[in-house]
A and B are shown apart, each in its own frame.
Chain A
Amino acid sequence: MRTRNIAFSLLALVVLGGGAFAAYAWHPAIDPIDPPRRESFDPALVRRGAQLAALGNCNVCHTVPGGQVFAGGLALPTPFGTIYSTNITPDPETGIGRWSEAAFARSMRAGLDRDGSHLYPAFPYNHFTLVSDEDNRALYAYLMTRDPVRAPARENDLPFPLNQRFVLAGWKLLFFREGPYRPAQDQGEEWNRGAYLAEGLGHCGACHTPRNALGAEKRGEHYAGGEAEGWHAYAINAASAAAVPWTTDSMFDYLRRGWHEHHGIARGPMAPVTANMAYVPEEDARAVAAYTVASMGQPSAERQRRAEALLAARGPVGGGARPAASDSQTVPASGGEPGAAIYAGACATCHEAGRPLPFGGINLAFSSGVRGESPENLINVVLNGLPAAEGERAPIMPGFRGVLDDAQLVALLSHLRARFGEAPAWEGLDKAVREARSGDRLASSRPTDSVQAAPADPTQRGTTW
């Protein structure tokens, strides 16, 4: 119902806008070209494009897990319907094989198809518009040298009039500012580099910023937290719920390795992001880390104090995966009320064992899942665990879906929130638990085989699928 109201509002806007709008909305087609030969691209440019594509996570949206890379077809559920990602392999008939560099650059800069029609902002061109011409060249070189895959695009599943692309012109009128990136004069080089990368290809805000009713990122709530694939993307602004405030170093480690001892494992949709970060040059990753942390502002003195107390109490957790001399679990503390007893019996054996991350269970006092604004992530992890990866080292957590019923899960989560969360109880926890179990809210399950054992080990990274 709401969708239809929104849709018709847009339609009304379009009609009222009339001719001026039509002039704004219409774009010419760019002529198709013969698919360029692989050899025509400079290998150095192709390599640079690979790095940029890693930062942009193109492979994640444009690949069905287990399917051919970049061949598209991944279903992206939105409040408006389901959109399927397109084939961006250089296949001449079903991919972008006949796209000129200009067409590609225009798609990134202006959100337009080769034939001039608007692209759905599920393709985050509101971010990609910031990408420089030079970087678009490299991306083009990279994509055009991939293996072509014949895979026709799937029809999007959108109601009328949203399935009429010209409607998107209205959306763009309201929410889209074309790039490229303009450096902030009052900020240093690293910050601007980080901003360019994070706001551009990184499109962090696409998940980490809340969206309005029309699906656009809310201006003024930059990085205040969002949603992806049934997971909550934490606030990464001043409202960051991290027990230990992020630093550039810790953020850098987390982004590159996929885990940090004070923050946990990158999981759900974040797992492939950190997996891809392994292929981003170190200085770029560091810039992104610096920019992101800068967005969080300076933590308050109170927050710093609490973090120090926490660290002192729990002690540092060293690198490596070696457990104690018996096994990798511990004697759990005995529980009292139901939630505490469940924690003691089912969780504490691993989560208080002190076994180092990434393979040990994180001490929940550090967990953003427990401290964060929404219980979604914690519910997902407790129900589904962390799945084993195919033939690669990855933390494995069993799921407790069959073990805990809804009442037990609510009791457990409430207890964790109270004991470790340092924050008020979640509202709507019952409902969130019910929705997760019933499948009303589907959460993606991605193996966390992107994690890297400490210390930094370049032989243990890779993309996720």
Chain B
Amino acid sequence: MSAAGETGLSRRGVLAGAGALVLSFSMDCAQAQPQEGQNARQEPRPAPQLPGSLKSSPRLDAWIRVGADSSVTLFTGKAELGQGIRTALLQVAAEELEVELAAIRLVTADTGATPNEGYTAGSHSMQDSGTAIRHAAAQVREILIARAAGRLGVPGEGLRAEGGAVVSPDGRRASYGELVADGLLAVRAAPESRLKDPARFRVMNQPVQRVDIPAKVTGGAAYVQDMRLPGMVHARVVRPSGPGARLEALDSGAVERMPGVLKVIRDGDFLAVVAEREFQCIQAMRALSAAARWRAGPALPKQAEIFGTLRGLPSEDTAILDKRTPQAAQRRLEASYTRQYQSHGSIGPSCAVAQVRDGVVTVWTHTQGVYPDRDAIAEMLRLPKERVRCIHTEGSGCYGHNGADDAAADAALIATAFPDRPVRLQWMREQENAWEPLGPAMVTQARAGLDASGAIVDWDYEVWSNTHSTRPGTAGSLLAARLVAEPFPEPAPKPLPQPEGGGDRNAIPLYTFPSARVMHHFLPRMPLRVSAMRALGAYMNVFTIESFMDELAAEAGADPVEFRLRHMQDPRARDVIARAAQAFGWKAGERPPRGRGHGFGFARYKNLAAYCAVATELEVARETGRARMLRAVAAVDSGQVVNPDGLRNQVEGAIMQSMSWTLYESVSFDEAGVTSVDWSTYPMLRFNGVPLSVEVHVIDRPGLPFLGSGECGQGPTAAAIGNAMAQATGKRLRDLPLTRERIKAAVGV
């Protein structure tokens, strides 16, 4: 079961929802996720009717093993990204297996050990993996009980599982270790399970603290960056001077003689150096860089003209919605919006550790998809897949497709040239910023007609965008594979299909209009390297739609919240809008003090995941143009709530991050490449910009299907900021980011 290639941080802090999982198999059928094109051929054929990822990995022992000492090993194909999935899955298993959390060892995403669950993305983790684990754990428990029944000569109904053992009514115990036997769990999962009654939950639905945080705050090894293997050496790459640049000359003799240097690797335009000590390696990298001469690649388009350039590229045009009927409009409005390229900005530049031993290449990597990355690396190395193993090891937050997959490929390639000793390959900050795939620049255009009563009668929306996913994929998705002497071709980008979408994610508004059409202009040609960044096209589309709604509301003389409700039929959307407005203290017609503005934004992520509305109060200093968010109030409906605190954490983080994107962030580039290579040139939110308060109100929907929430806050926050800014300044800004200079220029003197 794969995700449709979106970013995602499913910050399921603690819990797998009881109600959600019980409903999971009916939900699975109803919400079948479309396969991402590039990944489809790598998935085993799904088995029918099994819940969650059991579809693709139906054997129970793929998920759970019990040792002779009663210890439990749990397997998941998902990865800990900092969203707390590790803890959550442990709770699920501990609950159904009736063991302590501490008795379980969790093995995450490893092509040599765990099921293939595609990417950890799109907030699918609990839905796919949590569901599978819950059912598998319940079924394992029942198998052990049945076995105990035979052993103890007692009917199964009288037995219960408790504390890692099966206990009979007269108090006799058989530990799991005593009961387990070879092949006992090597059975196919059944379509239904005897799930535990939520009323008896011990650990699920409890605010259990995350199991990974103690190590992270006490210096325990917690990240791939902290890995230390015996005999490990350090490596650094030297990247070309810019995209498409070719290595003309290299005089690496002096570098090879530098202290600690073990090897200089050149394979076509792929350059790397291996050294004993890390700082020695860094110094050697700098010297190697100075010793290389590059011929510049084709010039990039001018940044000042990028949107014209994008609009002029060949496009594949699809009407993703076409429900047009002729309408008589009294007034018409039209507006167009832009968004600059933006960067993931991962705090820890990408890193991987690789070792070649006995013909097997093992890579420890923080990629979101160990299986796809493994497949691409194997293809790059021209090895059979079985000879490459990718083991997920946590990195810093990725927020999508950053440099992780490429760092893994770099490490594998270097290790192949320097076998036996483990190689730690670390990207530098400048390399991460310059070479990671970016969030694509986009152009949108909205047109609508209002009737005499001020209602929207027709709606026309267009979005121009590159693909929002270039994840591996084939080898050609990897930087290293394109640089080597026998390079692999870059795969042709394809749009992610609706209903999830890529650049057109959330391009279809949830509002009900008598006539509507939405066009997706997919631009295959990519001036800059792009891929998935948290929320994908939803960030820009929701910003546009919600800004335009405010512009229409103003034209209609209506209050923005009231205007939205007027056109919104979905009751859960209405609830979330009303709740956010009420919690914020939104009063129709209220004019905040001069220099301040209130703004509102709403979206249902992908029109099928969580509902989120954000109201914000912004202060804009007219003399300087400086905008500051004073407070934000959000309401979110994610179906059955799994962990209210985890959910709030997620949405809060999304609001902060989206604010940073919206007010500050744009990648800068010139004809030779990205120039925003560090934090001085790619500034983002620091503590002085943090609002005084951010509230997240959760609307609990017990029993309803679980809805992914990791990315639901990005779009509504951007729109709320834009709308608040319009009120504070009296000017409508439509070009992201809404920087101080733009604000000051709009405000004038």
Pairing of A with B = yes
Please give the residue numbers on chain A whose beta carbons come within 8 Å of chain B beta carbons, in ascending order.
Answer: 43, 46-47, 50, 59, 68-70, 142, 145-147, 320-331, 359, 388-396, 453, 458-463, 465
Note all chain B residues with C-beta closer than 8 A to A463. Answer: 623-624
Q: Are A392 and B740 closer than 8 Å at their CB atoms? A: yes
Q: A47-B749, A393-B681 known; A331 and B283 CB under 8 Å? A: yes
Contacts of B744 in A (CB 8 A): 462
- Is B624's CB under 8 angstroms from A322's CB? no
- Whether B741 pairs with A394 at a CB distance below 8 angstroms is no
Q: How far is the CA of A442 from the CA of B681 in the complex (A)?
A: 29
B659 nearest in chain A by CB position: A391
CA gap between A326 and B431 in the complex, in Å = 7
Please tell me if the beta carbons of B664 and A391 are within 8 angstroms of each other in the complex: yes
Bound state CA distance, A201 and B624, in angstroms? 20
Asked whether, in the complex, the Cβ of B742 is within 8 Å of the Cβ of A322, the reply is no
Which residues of A lie under 8 Å from residue B320 when comparing CB positions?
Answer: none
Q: Report B580 CB to chain A, min CB distance, Å.
A: 25
Q: Looking at the complex, which one of A50, A69, A393 makes contact with B683 (CB distance below 8 Å)?
A: A393
Taken together as a complex, chains A and B put the C-alpha atoms of A147 and B741 apart, in Å, by 19
Q: Is B552's beta carbon under 8 Å from chain A?
A: no
Q: Does B698 contact A (CB under 8 A)?
A: no
Q: With A321-B675, A390-B686, A459-B742 given, can you name 5 additional A-B contacts, CB distance below 8 Å?
A: A326-B431, A390-B689, A396-B678, A453-B681, A458-B741
10 CB contacts below 8 A, A to B, read: A46-B749, A50-B749, A69-B621, A142-B749, A145-B749, A322-B677, A328-B677, A392-B740, A393-B681, A396-B679
Question: Chain B: how many interface residues by the 8 Å CB criterion?
Answer: 57
Of all A-B residue pairs in the complex, the 5 with the closest CB atoms, nearest first, are A391-B664, A326-B289, A327-B428, A69-B623, A321-B675
Q: Which residues of B contact A396 (CB under 8 A)?
A: 678-680
Choice from B428, B431, B670, B689 contacting A322 with Cβ under 8 Å = B670
The reply to whether B238 and A325 contact each other, CB–CB distance below 8 Å, is yes
Contacts of B389 in A (CB 8 A): none
From B431, B623, B682, contact of A327 by CB (8 A): B431
Q: CA of A321 to CA of B688 in the docked complex: distance in angstroms? A: 26
Chain A residues in 8 Å Cβ range of B740: 391-392, 462
Is B401 interfacial (CB-CB < 8 Å)? no
The complex places the Cα of A331 from the Cα of B241 at a distance, in Å, of 18
Q: Render B660-684 as a binary contact track against A, CB cut-off 8 A, 1 for contact.
A: 1001100010101111111111111
Checking A68, A324, A459 against B741 with a beta-carbon cut-off of 8 angstroms, the contacting residue is A459
Per a CB cutoff under 8 Å, which of B594, B663, B680 touches A388? B680
Contact A462 B429, beta carbon cutoff 8 Å: no
Cβ contacts B411-447/A at 8 Å (1 or 0 each) = 0000000000000000011110010000000000000
B703 interface contact, C-beta 8 A: no
Contacts of A359 in B (CB 8 A): 678, 680-681
CB of A327 within 8 A of CB of B286, answer: yes
B428–A459 contact, CB under 8 A? no
Q: Which residues of B contact A146 (CB under 8 A)?
A: 623
B40 within 8 A of A: no
Flag B225-248 by CB within 8 Å of A: 1 or 0 each: 000000000001011111000000
A326-B739 contact given A391-B685, A396-B680, CB 8 Å threshold: no
Most buried by A among B241, B673, B678: B678
Q: Is A391 within 8 A of B749, CB to CB? A: no
Interface pair B675/A320, CB less than 8 Å apart: yes
Given contacts A147-B594, A324-B289, A327-B286, contact A391 B663 (CB under 8 A): yes
A462: min CB distance to chain B, Å: 5
Do B681 and A321 touch across chains, with their CB atoms under 8 A apart? yes
Confirm or deny: B11 has a beta carbon within 8 angstroms of a beta carbon on chain A.
no
Residue of B nearest to A451 (CB): B680
A329 nearest CB neighbor, chain B only: B286
Cβ–Cβ contact B238 & A391, under 8 A: no
Chain A residue nearest to B427 (CB atoms) is: A327
What's the least CB distance linking A362 to chain B, in Å? 14
Q: Are A328 and B683 in contact (CB under 8 A)?
A: no
Contacting residue for B624 out of A325, A391, A458, A462, CB 8 A: A462
Report whether B683 and A391 are in contact in the complex, using a CB–CB cutoff of 8 Å: yes
Decide if B583 is an interface residue (CB 8 Å cutoff). no
Q: How far is the CB of A161 from chain B (nearest CB, A)?
A: 37
Evaluate contact between B287 and A331: CB separation under 8 angstroms: yes
* Distance, CA A321 to CA B667, complexed state (A): 12
* Chain A residue at minimal CB-CB distance from B258: A331
Contact between chains at B238 and A326 (CB < 8 Å): yes
Please name all residues of chain A whose beta carbon is closer than 8 Å to the beta carbon of B689 when the two chains form the complex: 390-391
B289 touches A325 (CB 8 A): yes
Q: Counting CB contacts under 8 A, is B622 at the interface?
A: yes
Write the B289-329 contact mask toward A (1 if CB under 8 angstroms, else 0): 11010100000000000000000000000000000000000
B680-716 contacts to A, CB under 8 A, are: 680-686, 688-689
Do the beta carbons of A392 and B240 come within 8 Å of each other? no
In angstroms, Cα B449 to Cα A402, docked, is: 62
Contact A330 B286 (CB under 8 A): yes
For B625, the closest partner residue in chain A by CB is: A462
CB < 8 Å neighbour of A393 from B238, B428, B680: B680
* Interface pair B680/A395, CB less than 8 Å apart: yes
A321 vs B668: C-alpha distance when bound (angstroms): 9
Question: When chains A and B are docked, how far (Å) is the Cα of A47 from the Cα of B748?
Answer: 9
Contact status of A59 and B431, CB under 8 A, knowing A392-B683, A395-B680, A459-B741: no
